[in-house]
Amino acid sequence: MTERESQTRTQPPPLLLNPVLERGGAYPLLKMDERRRELKKRGVRLFDFGTGDPREPTDPSIRQSLVESVPEVSQYPTVSGKRGLREAFSGWARRRHGVELDPEAEVLPATGSKEAIFHAPLAFLHPSHERRGVAYGTPGYPVYGRGTLFAGGELLPVGLKEEAGFLLPVEEVVPERTRVLWLNYPHNPTGATASYEYLEKVAEFCREHDVLLFSDECYNDIYSGEPPPSILEVTRERTLAFVSLSKRSGMTGYRSGMMAGDPELIAALKKLRPSIGVAAPEFVQGAAATAWADEEHVAARRRIYGEKRELFLESFRRAGLRVTPTDAGFYLWVEVPTRYGSDDEAYALQLLEEGIVVAPGSSFGPGGEGYVRVALVPGLAECREAIGIWEKLESVRGKM
């Protein structure tokens, strides 16, 4: 046997993957990521408005609770988590939304809202179901679709239009195919908000057609105007709200989220979650309980986000850039200048050459083309520096 024949025979067959991984395709921002690494290696200073990871320090009282909650003996956390955490969250829901939640039957912790959102469909969808469609808005958070596919569900994306305030048009949802409907307000990536009346309309639709209503409310404690409502203020029937401490309390690395709503749905998740995950470690739960019980640090963070938002909105007005109006959430949705057509990736790459990192709108699905998303994460001083660079770029390019 020749050396070549030996090598051929010993090579393993191609690795088989879950088809959903293949269906997801390549990472949409690969070109930007490569260029970003090149610039960083060259020592170019980058202002990162791409990833929604806040830079303001986590409140000292939360960090102290984390330290004090570390046990001498570390043991597995339970699925339901510590009652003190669930009670602290229920207290927040009462103060913030006027909603009374049973901490035993209507509240369940998760290791961040992302994993909770991804895993939730596994409890309610199966390929054998006659209705296994999941409706969600696009552009939007990609995890709604990814979780659906891994659960064997059917993707039912619904286009969001700026002229309609980026509100999901419930009249375009096909009830005969839909098992779950996702809402997300304040919205990622556009910053759009929903009124109480709109939530009532969606809740009535879901009730009439026996559609499960899931509401991603991870940004509803970040606002400068009227406090955004929760779906739980409208209904808990066949409804779940997904809430997080990541942006509200600057705890992205702690991985602490909550699910709340219909006790029947919570009971189903309690059956599911021992197979896939439990609550966060108990010392993280201690910090989370402190965060949910305190409003002062949140008010301070809101003021900072509001100042950042106004800095950018005023800058965009001066530069002639059109941005979706918003006074809530964590993001700004900026229309690409006409000289780029609708090529949001080209505009994002041009900004990157100047050291400004933003997310191309097309990475959030159909309807995102022609926009870039600005996450309000760098500190105020960095925001001011970046704004000066951005305005200079627009001044020079706008004259070309």
Q: Given pLDDT bands bounded at 50, 70 and 90, which one contains residue 278?
A: confident
- Is residue 83 one of the residues assigned to a domain? yes
For residues 287 and 382, state if they share a domain: no
CA–CA separation, 31 and 34 (whole Å) = 5
For residues 244 and 366, state if they share a domain: no
Of the residues 294, 321, 344, the one at which a domain ends: 294
For residues 16 and 123, state if they share a domain: no
3-class DSSP string for 274-319: HHCCCCCCHHHHHHHHHHHHCCHHHHHHHHHHHHHHHHHHHHHHHH
> Which DSSP state fits 328?
B
Looking at residue 7, its pLDDT comes to 56
- The alpha-helical segments, DSSP class H, found in the chain are 3-10, 19-23, 30-41, 60-68, 83-97, 113-119, 143-150, 196-209, 263-272, 282-293, 296-319, 344-353, 380-398
What's the CATH code of the domain at 194? 3.40.640.10
| Cis preceding linkage at 274, omega within 30 | no
For residues 284 and 323, state if they share a domain: no
* pLDDT, average across residues 11-21: 86
Q: Is the pLDDT of residue 19 over 90?
A: no
- Is residue 62 one of the residues assigned to a domain? no
For residues 274 and 164, state if they share a domain: yes
CA–CA separation, 52 and 140 (whole Å) = 14
For residues 314 and 392, state if they share a domain: yes
Of the residues 267, 294, 321, the one at which a domain ends: 294
Share of the chain above pLDDT 90, in %: 84
Q: What is the mean pLDDT of the chain?
A: 93
- Is residue 173 one of the residues assigned to a domain? yes
For residues 258 and 173, state if they share a domain: yes
The whole domain housing 113 covers 71-294
For residues 124 and 93, state if they share a domain: yes
- Residue length, the chain? 400
DSSP reduced 3-state for 52: coil
- Is residue 66 one of the residues assigned to a domain? no
Looking at residue 35, its pLDDT comes to 87
Looking at residue 400, its pLDDT comes to 45
- Is residue 394 one of the residues assigned to a domain? yes
Of the residues 294, 315, 346, the one at which a domain ends: 294
Within 10 angstroms of residue 27's Cβ, the number of other Cβ atoms is 10
Partnered with residue 154 across adjacent β-strands are 133
* pLDDT, average across residues 62-77: 95
pLDDT tens figures, 116-143: 999 999 999 998 999 999 999 999 999 9
Looking at residue 386, its pLDDT comes to 96
- CA dist list (Å): 126 to 28, 129, 133, 152: 28, 6, 10, 6
Please compute Rg for the chain using Cα positions: 22
What's the CATH code of the domain at 329? 3.90.1150.10
- Is residue 61 one of the residues assigned to a domain? no
Pair of tokens at residue 163: 């002229």
Amino acid letter, 67: V
For residues 43 and 188, state if they share a domain: no
For residues 48 and 135, state if they share a domain: no
For residues 196 and 342, state if they share a domain: no
- Domains of the chain: total: 2
Partnered with residue 209 across adjacent β-strands are none
For residues 322 and 224, state if they share a domain: no
Q: Are 152 and 125 in contact (CB under 8 A)?
A: yes
- Is residue 63 one of the residues assigned to a domain? no
- Is residue 64 one of the residues assigned to a domain? no
